[in-house]
Amino acid sequence: MIQTVPDSDALYDRVIVERARAPQYAGKLEAPSVQGEGKNPMCGDKTRVDIALNATHIQSVRHTTRGCAICAAAADLMAQQVSGLDVAQAVSLSGRFSAMLVGEASPAGAADTSLGPLEVFKPLRSHKARIRCAELPWIALKEALSHADV
């Protein structure tokens, strides 16, 4: 059983462990508008993101992720956070998430710097090798959205 440590530097927060074990957005969409894929050859993580768009808004997101707990939880929380956003907001959120992981200020023009549940990944700042695990689903998301006609 994985124990979580109530420490700001704990790598496996309770939310990360829970979302990796019981993802809420895992699976495939029957008819996605766009798809994106991310692979990390260094550790074997792989994720595919299916997105259904309604005009310029993300209607629903599902992911198929094979990888570590961090990658699986990041994919699930990403799907939760971008559902209902327009494409530009999702891309902006991706930039803010990446900036948080490396300890940078949010990109210029970012209206809301709060990342809500995504902030559970902040401790990765001190685990540089694991940052790619959390970013992989976002890479797949951006690839998928690059194919959107918006």
Assigned token pair, 21? 């074990």
pLDDT at 106 over 90: no
How far, in Å, CA of 61 to CA of 77, rounded?
Answer: 11
Transcribe 10-26 into DSSP letters.
-SS-HHHHHHHHS-SSB
**Which has the closest alpha carbon to 92: 31, 149, 21, 141?**
141
What are the residue ranges spanned by the domains of the chain? 14-146
DSSP state of 7: S
pLDDT at 110 over 80: no
Q: Out of 23-37, 95-109, 136-150, give the one with best mean pLDDT.
A: 23-37
Helix residue ranges per DSSP H, the chain: 14-21, 69-82, 87-102, 128-146
CATH 3.20.20.210 fits 14-146, yes or no: no
pTM of this prediction? 0.87
Q: Residue 133: CB partners within 8 Å, gap ≥ 6?
A: 40, 43, 45, 67, 68, 70, 71, 74, 124
Kindly give the pairing relationship between strand 46-54 and strand 57-66: antiparallel
Assigned token pair, 65? 């992720």
Instruction: Dump pLDDT digits (tens) for 111-126.
Output: 446 799 999 999 999 8
Instruction: Dump pLDDT digits (tens) for 5-50.
Output: 444 456 778 899 999 999 999 999 999 999 999 999 888 999 999 9
Question: How far does CA 57 lie from the centroid of its chain?
Answer: 17
Instruction: Dump pLDDT digits (tens) for 63-96.
Output: 999 999 999 999 999 999 999 999 999 999 999 9
How far, in Å, CA of 100 to CA of 57, rounded?
Answer: 24
Contact 16/26 with Cβ under 8 angstroms?
no
